Chain A
Amino acid sequence: SAVISQKPSRDICQRGTSLTIQCQVDSQVTMMFWYRQQPGQSLTLIATANQGSEATYESGFVIDKFPISRPNLTFSTLTVSNMSPEDSSIYLCSVEGAVTDTQYFGPGTRLTVL
Chain B
Amino acid sequence: AQSVTQLDSQVPVFEEAPVELRCNYSSSVSVYLFWYVQYPNQGLQLLLKYLSGSTLVKGINGFEAEFNKSQTSFHLRKPSVHISDTAEYFCAVSEGTSGTYKYIFGTGTRLKVLA
Contact = CB atoms under 8 A, between A and B. Distances in A.
Given A101-B51, A101-B94, A101-B98, A45 B45 contact: no
A101 B43 contact: no
B46 A1 contact: yes
Contacts of A44: 105
Interface residues of B, number: 23
A51 B32 CA distance: 25
Contact of B101 (A4, A31, A92): A31
A96 B107 contact: no
Contacts of B105: 42-44
A67 interface: no
B49 interface: yes
Contact of B103 (A41, A100, A103, A107): A103
A6 B94 CA distance: 25
Contact of B106 (A42, A94, A104): A42
B90 A42 contact: yes
Interface string A68-85: 000000000000000000
B101 A106 contact: no
A78 B19 CA distance: 38
B101 A105 contact: no
A88 to B, nearest CB: 15
A108 B65 CA distance: 26
Given A101-B94, A103-B103, A108-B43, 14 more contacts: A1-B46, A4-B43, A31-B101, A42-B107, A42-B108, A92-B43, A96-B101, A101-B99, A101-B100, A102-B34, A102-B46, A105-B36, A108-B42, A110-B41
Interface of A: 1, 4, 6, 31, 33, 41-45, 48, 92, 94, 96-97, 99-108, 110
20 contacts: A41-B107, A41-B108, A42-B106, A42-B108, A43-B90, A43-B103, A44-B105, A48-B101, A96-B101, A99-B51, A101-B51, A101-B94, A101-B100, A102-B34, A102-B46, A102-B49, A105-B43, A107-B42, A107-B43, A108-B43
Interface of B: 32, 34, 36, 41-46, 49, 51, 90, 94, 98-103, 105-108
